[in-house]
Amino acid sequence: MSHPPERIERHTLSILVDNEPGVLARVIGLFSGRGYNIDSLTVSEVSHERHLSRITIVTTGTPMVIEQIRNQLDRLVPIHRVRDLTVEAASVERELAMVKVRGTGDARSEALRLAEAFRARVIDATTESFVFEITGKSDKIDQFAVLMVPLGLVEVSRTGVVAISRGPEAM
């Protein structure tokens, strides 16, 4: 039997959870146990008084799988709310990366010029290296990292995507 290939979509999910031990393991275990993709994941406490953490997950799958992921997350006991920012609201996404480039001479000055063009900041420097801090959409960071390869890219550390809906409403 052959099925027509289904459309694969990329979705950004925002998940508000009780900040309790094991909650991240529950979310990640759900993805690994059911074979869902995680392209990016970030998590941090967002309200100390209310013990709330926010998880942002970027995932890919068919529309049916994305709906499943949402519903599976929603029924985990310590989860307050799940929002699919890709379909439910216009949203903004950002990622931060630190990019280390090693080199001297022309390559070094070219790296610095490109960094300016991308509005990356130098946050560490030696005579033979820079660490740039760059913020933006993921594809901008991808592009920056690609450009740095011939100029002496040695290491990249990225936060993963954080996202929030546009406009005055909270999730």
Partner 1 sequence: MSKDMTGAEMVIQALADQGVEHLFGYPGGAVLPIYDALFHQNSIEHILVRHEQAAVHAAEGYARSSGKVGVVLVTSGPGATNAVTGLTDALMDSIPLVCITGQVPTHLIGNDAFQECDTVGITRPCTKHNYLVRDVKDLARVLHEAFYVAQNGRPGPVVVDIPKDVQFALGSYVGPENIEHKTYKPKLRGDADRIEAALDMIARARRPIFYTGGGVINAGPKASSALRDLARLTGVPVTSTLMGLGAFPAASRQWLGMLGMHGTYEANMAMHGCDLMVCIGARFDDRITGRIDAFSPESKKIHIDIDPSSINKNVKVDLPIIGDCAHVLEAMVRGWREGGRSTDGEAMDVWWRQIDRWRARNCLAYRASDTVIKPQYAIERLYAATCDKDVYISTEVGQHQMWAAQFFRFEEPNRWLTSGGLGTMGYGLPAAIGAQIAHPDALCVDIAGEASILMNMQEMSTAIQFDLPVKIFILNNRYMGMVRQWQELLHGGRYSHSYSEALPDFVKLAEAYGGVGMRCDKPGDLDAAIAEMIAVKRPVIFDCIVDQQENCFPMIPSGRAHNEMILGDMAVDLDEAITDEGKMLV
Contacts with partner 1, residue ranges (CB under 8 A):
1, 3, 18, 21-22, 25-26, 29, 33, 64, 67-68, 71-72, 74-80
In the complex, minimum distance from the CB of residue 130 to partner 1, in angstroms, rounded to a whole number: 41
CB closer to partner 1 out of 65 and 85: 65
In the complex, minimum distance from the CB of residue 39 to partner 1, in angstroms, rounded to a whole number: 21
CB closer to partner 1 out of 78 and 160: 78
In the complex, minimum distance from the CB of residue 3 to partner 1, in angstroms, rounded to a whole number: 6
In the complex, minimum distance from the CB of residue 32 to partner 1, in angstroms, rounded to a whole number: 9
In the complex, minimum distance from the CB of residue 64 to partner 1, in angstroms, rounded to a whole number: 6
In single-letter form, the type of residue at position 74 comes to: D
CB closer to partner 1 out of 62 and 104: 62
CB closer to partner 1 out of 4 and 105: 4
Quote the CA–CA distance of 50 and 115 in Å, as a whole number. 40
* Range 151-155 contact pairs with CB under 8 angstroms and sequence separation of 24 or more: 151/101, 151/103, 151/107, 151/108, 151/110, 151/111, 151/114, 152/101, 152/102, 152/103, 152/107, 152/108, 152/111, 153/99, 153/100, 153/101, 154/100, 154/101, 154/102, 154/129, 155/99, 155/100
Residue 109, SS3 per DSSP: helix
CB closer to partner 1 out of 21 and 105: 21
Q: Give the Cβ contact number of residue 39 at 10 Å.
A: 14
